[in-house]
Structure 1
Amino acid sequence: MASTFMRKWFAGDSGDDPVAVEAYGAMTTAFLQSDQLITAIEDGVTAARAIDPAGQVTQQWAPIRERHSAATATYLQLQRPGPDSPYQSAPIYQECTRTLEQVCAEMTRFRNRFSDSLGRARAAQHMAVQSAQQARLDANAAVTALDDAENLPFLQYPSVIAAVDVLAAQIRKLDAVTDSAHRRDVAGAVTDAAAAVHAALAAAPGRGIEAQNAVRSIATRISAVATRAEQMGPARSALLREFSAACSNDLVDNDRVAAAASAAADQELRAARAEIAAARPESALAHCSSARDHLRAADDAVDAVTHRLRSLREIRSDPAQAADKVRFRLRDAQQLALQRDLVGEWGSVLDAQVDRIDRARAALTGVHPDYWTYMTDLEAIDRFINGVVDRMRGRA
C-alpha cells in the first residue's frame, strides 16, 4: 500500500511517461527560478519607478514583466491538479520550459544591466521609509509634549495653535504621499513642523515678559513721537516763509496724519495692556506690532516735513552742486558707453540727459524758485542714468 501511495506523488508509476515526468520537473524548476528572479528584481523596479516613472528601468522592465506573466499563466495551466492527474506529453512541458528559461535569461540580463540603478533606487526607498518612520516618531513626541501639564496653559497661544496646525497638515501629506522620491521631503517637513511645535512651547513661558517689555517700549515711542511732532509747526512755517508753496503742498496734512497715527498707536497700546491683564500675551504682542506700524507712519509724517526743510535749504545754498553731482554720474556713464563700444546704442540717450539737467537748472527763477521740483527732476534724471548703466553692464 505504501509503495502504491508514493508512486502517485513521485515518478516511477508504470503508467507515467518518464520523459513527461522529467519534462514536468524541468518546467517546475524553470518556473521557480523565474519566480526567484522576479522577486529579486521587482522591488528595485518599483523603487526606480517611484523616482522616475518614465525612466529606462521602467520602460525596459515592462515588456519583460508581461512576458513573464504570460509564461506564468501557461505554467499554471499545465500544473497537475492532483497526484492522480495524468502527465501531459513532454513537448508541451518542454515548450513552456523554453519560454520560462528565455524569460529568466532576459531578467538576468536586465538585472545585470541595471544593477546600479536598482541598488540606488532601493537605497533611496529605504531612506525614504526610514525618514517617514523618524518623522512619525518626531510628530508623536510633539503631540506628547502638548499633553504635558506644564504646557497646558499655553495650548491656546496663537503661536502654538499655528504650529500644531502646520504639523497636522504635514502629517496628512505624509499619510497621502505614495512617491518615495517625495516622501523624504514630506518627512523632512513633518520633522521641521514637530520642531516648530517644541519651539513654540519653549518660547511660550517668556511671552508674558516679552509683551510687558513691548508695551513699555511702545509707550516710550509714543511719547517720543509726540515730542518730535511739536517740531512740525515751526518747520512747516519755515517752509512757507522761505520757499514757494509748491515746495510743500504735499505736506499740508502731515500734522493731522501724524496725530491720527499716534492716536491709533495709543489705542493699540491700551488694547495690548488689556490683553496682558487677561493673560493673553501673544495677543498683546500682536497689538504692539500694529502700534509699531502706526508709529512708523507718524514718524514718516514728521520726518517728511523736517527732512524737506533741510533738503531745500541745502539745495538753495548751492543749486549748482546738486546738478554737478548728476553731471558727474552722466560723464561716468558716457565713458562706460565708450569703453564697451555702446555709443551707437546709448550715446544719444545719454546726451539727451545733458539737456534735461540744463532745463531743470534754468527753471530756477523768481523770488522763490521751485527748489522741490528742481530736486525731484534731478533725482529722476539720476535714476534714469543709473538704469542705463545697469543695462550696459548687463544687470537689467
Structure 2
Amino acid sequence: MTATPGTPAKRSYPHPPSTVRIRGGSSALRDTLTLMTLPVLAALALPAAFAGGGTRRWFGGRAESQRAEAQAAKDAAAAAFYELDTAQRDLRISIETITAVDDSPAARRAATDFETLGRRIDEVSQRYIQAVDAHDLDRDDLEAAAASRARSELTSAKDELIRVRQDLDRFGGSLGPLLGKAETQLARLAPAVERARQALLGASNALDSVREKGLRADDLAGRLAALSPELTKLNQGAGQHGVQQTVERAERVQREAGAIRAEAERLPQKAAEIDHRLVSLRTRAQALTTRAGQVDPVLSELRRRFAAACWQDLQQVPEQAARDVRQAELKLREAQAARDAQHWPDATSLLSTVRALLNTTDEAVSAAGDRLTRLNAVQKDPQAEIERTRFAIRDAQRLAMSGRTTPDPRHARPLDDAVGRLERAIGTLEAGRHPDYWHFLSETEAVRQMAALVVARIREERGGPLSGGSRP
C-alpha cells in the first residue's frame, strides 16, 4: 500500500483479522467490534499488572500530581540530607586536624562549637527521617491530602537541612586561620622527625670518627645516649604524643644532636688547642717567675727616692706574685692530667684558672715597674703633667661655651671644681722635701676623668660629637 505524502503509512498485515459477520444489523456489528478489540485491551493491561507487584487504582489527575510533588520534595530533602552529611564529615576532619595540633583556647572553642552544631544536625536529621518514615508515597491508595501533607513536611525538613548546612558552611569558613596553622604544623611533622633522625645519625658517625683518632669523647657519648628515650617517642609517632609535642621534640633532638656532632667534629682541634695552651701558659709562668724576682730591686729604689705613700701599696707584690705563680703551676699540672684523661671540660676550666692567676700576677709585677717610670717622669718634669691636665679642662670649657654666652651651671660647676682640685694638687708638690708624687698623679688623673665626663654629657645632650673641640 502506498502512503500519501504527509500522512503516516498504514501498517499492513499479511493476514487481516477474520471477522464473524452476523446478519441482523447494529448488534451484529457491535459483536464484531468487541471480538476485534479484546486483544488490544489485554495488551494495555499487562504493564499495569506487572508494575509494583500489582495493580494501582486510578484516582484521577489531582492525586497523582500531589504524589509527584511529594516525591520531588522527598528527593530534594534526600539531596539536602546527603550534602549536609558530607559537609559534616569533611568538617569533622578539619576539626580533628586542628585539635590534634592546637591546644589553644580558640581551638578548644572551635571543637565545642562543632559539637553544638552536631547536635543541631542530629535534630534536623531526625526530623527528616521521621518525615520520610511517616509517608509511604508508593501506596496505591495514597490520597491527595496525604500526599500534600507529605510534600509540606518533607519540604520543611529540607529547608531545615539547608539552613543548618549554611550555618555549617559559615562555621567552616571561620576555621581558616586555625586550619591553616594546623596544616602547617602537620606539614612540618614528617620533615622535622626525619631531620631529627638524620641529626642523630650524624652525631653517632661523628663520634665513631673521633674514636678512630684515639679520642674517647665520653661526655659527648653520654649526651647522645640521653637522647635515646626521645628517639623512642619520635618513633611512637604523633598519634600517641601529639603533633605539636612531636614537632617540638624533633626540633629539640635535632638541635642537641647537631651540637653533639659539632663538638665531636671540633674535638681534635680542641685537643690541639689545649696542648698549645698548656705549653704557652707554662712558658708564661716561667717568665713571670723571673719578672717577679725583679720587683724587689724596683721597690728598693722606690723606698730610697720617694715618700712612703708612693710605694706602700706595692709592698706585698713580690710575695703575692710568687704565691700566684706557684698556684698557677699547680693548676697547670692538674690541667695536664685532665687532658691526658681526656676530661676536656675540666682541662679547659683549669686552664682558664691558670690564665686568670697569671694575668693578676702580670698586672701586679708590671704595676711596680710602671709606678717607678711614672714617678721618675713627674719628678723630673711635673709641668708636663700639669699642662696635660689643664689642656683637658680648657677643652671641656670651650665645648661648654660653644654656642652660648654663659655656660650651663651643670657643666660649669664640675669644671670649676676640677680647676680647684688641680691647683690643690700642684700645691702638694711644694710641701716638704719629698712630695707625694703618687698622690699628685692620682689627682691629675681624676681631674682629667672629670673633664671627660663633662664633655661626654654635653655631647650626649647636644645629640652627638661637635666640631671644634679636641678630645680631652
- Separation in 2, partners of 1:172, 1:216: 45
The answer to whether 1:295 aligns with 2:355 is no
- AA in 2 matched with 1:227: T
Q: Which residue of 1 aligns with 2:388?
A: 325
Q: Which residue of 1 aligns with 2:199?
A: 139
Question: Residue 32 of structure 1: which of 78, 86, 98 is its match?
Answer: 86
- Equivalent pairs, count: 368
Question: Residue 351 of structure 1: which of 387, 392, 416 is its match?
Answer: 416
- AA in 2 matched with 1:72: G
Question: Residue 368 of structure 1: which of 434, 443, 446 is its match?
Answer: 434
Q: More relative contact order in 1 or in 2 (CA 8 Å, sep 6+)? A: 1
Structure 1: gaps spanning 5 or more residues: 5-13
Q: Which residue of 1 aligns with 2:457?
A: 391
Deviates more, 1:259-268 or 1:34-43: 34-43
Q: Which residue of 2 aligns with 1:243?
A: 306
Q: Is the 8 A contact 1:146 1:155 kept in 2?
A: no
Q: 1:140/1:375 Cα in 2 relative to 1: closer, same or farther (>3 Å)? A: same
- Separation in 2, partners of 1:45, 1:339: 68
- Separation in 1, partners of 2:272, 2:378: 48
1:148-187: CA deviations, max 9, x gaps? 37528644555x368659978998999999769x967x86
Q: Which residue of 1 aligns with 2:328?
A: 265
Deviates more, 1:238-247 or 1:284-293: 284-293
Q: 1:348/1:214 Cα in 2 relative to 1: closer, same or farther (>3 Å)? A: closer
Q: Which residue of 2 aligns with 1:8?
A: none
Q: Which residue of 1 aligns with 2:118?
A: 72
Q: Secondary structure at the match of 1:305?
A: helix
- Separation in 2, partners of 1:143, 1:68: 46
Deviates more, 1:270-279 or 1:240-249: 270-279
- AA in 2 matched with 1:335: R
Structure with higher Rg: it is 2
Deviates more, 1:339-348 or 1:305-314: 339-348
Q: 1:166/1:87 Cα in 2 relative to 1: closer, same or farther (>3 Å)? A: same
Deviates more, 1:190-199 or 1:307-316: 190-199
Question: Residue 285 of structure 2: which of 215, 222, 225 is its match?
Answer: 222
TM-score (norm 1): 0.73
- Separation in 2, partners of 1:320, 1:339: 28
Question: Residue 336 of structure 1: which of 390, 394, 399 is its match?
Answer: 399
1:172-203: CA deviations, max 9, x gaps? 999999769x967x866654432331232233
The answer to whether 1:97 aligns with 2:162 is yes
- Separation in 1, partners of 2:344, 2:126: 79
The answer to whether 1:86 aligns with 2:133 is yes
- Separation in 2, partners of 1:172, 1:390: 60
Q: Which residue of 2 aligns with 1:308?
A: 371
- Separation in 1, partners of 2:229, 2:316: 48
Q: Is the 8 A contact 2:125 2:161 kept in 1?
A: no
Q: Which residue of 1 aligns with 2:261?
A: 198
Q: Which residue of 2 aligns with 1:10?
A: none
Q: 1:229/1:62 Cα in 2 relative to 1: closer, same or farther (>3 Å)? A: same
Deviation at 1:100, TM superposition (A): 2.3
Root mean square deviation of aligned Cα: 4.5
- Separation in 2, partners of 1:162, 1:296: 35
Structure 2: gaps spanning 5 or more residues: 1-51, 54-66, 136-152, 464-472
- Separation in 2, partners of 1:387, 1:305: 29
Q: Is the 8 A contact 2:124 2:160 kept in 1?
A: no
Q: Secondary structure at the match of 1:368?
A: coil
- Separation in 2, partners of 1:173, 1:307: 64
1:24-80: CA deviations, max 9, x gaps? 441331342354357568857997x78xx68xxx59x957x7655433212224446
Q: 1:367/1:129 Cα in 2 relative to 1: closer, same or farther (>3 Å)? A: farther
Q: Is the 8 A contact 2:298 2:372 kept in 1?
A: yes
Deviation at 1:228, TM superposition (A): 1.0
Q: Is the 8 A contact 2:211 2:217 kept in 1?
A: no
Deviation at 1:257, TM superposition (A): 0.6
Q: Is the 8 A contact 2:298 2:368 kept in 1?
A: yes
